[in-house]
Structure 1
Amino acid sequence: MAHISIIGTGNMGQAIAGVFGKGGHSVQLLGQSDGSTPVTGDIVVLAVPYSAVAAIVAERGQSLAGKTVVDITNPVNFETFDSLVVPADGSATAQIAQSLPQSNVLKAFNTTFAATLASGLVGPNTTTVLIAGDDADAKSQLADAIAAGGLTVIDAGPLARARELESLGFLQISLAAGEKISWTGGFGVVA
């Protein structure tokens, strides 16, 4: 079983912890007041807003070397709610990977809402987590840990696909904020 650290104790952090807990994995949940607590997981999930990532990397970057770091952020411009705040040819995940060159950085969980992670369902379908990243072993380890929690996992391709995942996440958030879909719903993948 994997040992997973989750930085962020909000709705997403709690829901992701629940998924890993259902799979029998040990979970360390770290909040803002836990800045001096060492990160002990081999997989580290950044379950924080994109705007908080730079401070976490500055504070904990060295301790993340050799670990799989999972970025769940959607770098939405929350002032205008009309765009992403990263360059059109890049992604938040690519920027994080550049800041953490000794870590295996993956994108996952950004196309799911906390409610669909907690329930394991999007409508009648099992919640699907899309993963992007360049390290096959890291993706496999994360996919196994998620699947053990009862969710479907799809490898969405290399780290470059994080841009499309962030666009999909932005669209889903926009639809929910505009009350076109529910925060308990979202996109489902039907095979």
Structure 2
Amino acid sequence: MSTISIIGAGTMATAIAGRIANAGHTVEVVNLDPAKARALADQLAAGATTGTYGAAPAGDIVILAVPYTSAAAVMADYGDALDGKVIIDITNPVAPDLSGLVTPSGSSGAQETAKGLPAGAHVVKAFNTIFGHVLAKGGRLDAFIAGDNAEAKGRVSTFLESLGLRPLDVGGLQMAQTLEALGLMMIGLAKNGAGSWDIAMHVDIG
């Protein structure tokens, strides 16, 4: 198995890290607050390590698990340290009042994040349509991905399959706009029509 790096130590980072550790990968947790990174690594107790914030991550796949409002600053802090890495953007750039997305018209959080990365890094959108507590329960969930680099998407697909998820490619990185809108729709569905946060989007392929 391989080392997967996660930048962040919040609810989604914890859920994804748990799933990665259970799949037998090594998790490297990195956070601006080293104590939070250490706490999550200790919680995983499966050979998890911590990395130095801003330094080159150990994993070739790096999961950006911070709020969208912090993503640009994190990318700036890392700079060329992310060159050659596959960056999985899980953010949902949702307005605090859930009235819509806060990204520029015609763009997405993933596309904005990609602008701050070195040329050799590739962004793949994933995980943003799955609630953390649902992911943590286990089970084979559908994981939608979008990205412009075929090799990067292939590596992310293989990684997702190793976690027991079903990767479904929706197209180029511009499709992250649609996935982020779907993330907002899932929140609206949980709060209104479904009346429960224990939901997940599933595609029936007949």
| Residue of structure 2 in register with 1:44 after alignment | 62
- Superimposed CA distance per residue, residues 69-122 of structure 1 (whole angstroms, 9 cap, x where no aligned partner): 1110110011x320100123110111111111421111000000112211234x
| Residue of structure 1 in register with 2:43 after alignment | none
Distance 2:195 2:31 in 1: 30
Contact 1:25 1:145 in 2 (8 A): no
Distance 1:107 1:128 in 2: 14
- Superimposed CA distance per residue, residues 17-59 of structure 1 (whole angstroms, 9 cap, x where no aligned partner): 1222232211101223138443211111011110110111111
Q: CA RMSD in A?
A: 1.7
1:190 Cα offset (Å):
2.3
| Residue of structure 1 in register with 2:37 after alignment | none
Distance 2:113 2:2 in 1: 23
The equivalent position to 2:102 in structure 1, one of 79, 85, 95, is 85
Query: Are 2:116 and 1:99 equivalent residues in the alignment?
Result: yes
Contact 2:7 2:31 in 1 (8 A): yes
* Equivalenced residues, count: 186
Mark the runs of 5 or more structure 2 residues left unpaired by the alignment: 35-50
Contact 1:50 1:73 in 2 (8 A): yes
Amino acid in structure 2 at the alignment position of 1:153: P
Distance 1:41 1:74 in 2: 23
| Runs of 4+ off more than 6 Å | none
Question: Could you tell me the TM-score, scaled by structure 2's length?
Answer: 0.84
Change (3 A) 1:96 1:48: same
| Residue of structure 1 in register with 2:174 after alignment | 160
Identity of aligned residues (%): 42
- Which is bigger in relative contact order (C-alpha 8 A, separation at least 6)? 1
Amino acid in structure 2 at the alignment position of 1:85: V
Question: Could you tell me the TM-score, scaled by structure 1's length?
Answer: 0.90
Mark the runs of 5 or more structure 1 residues left unpaired by the alignment: none
Amino acid in structure 2 at the alignment position of 1:89: G
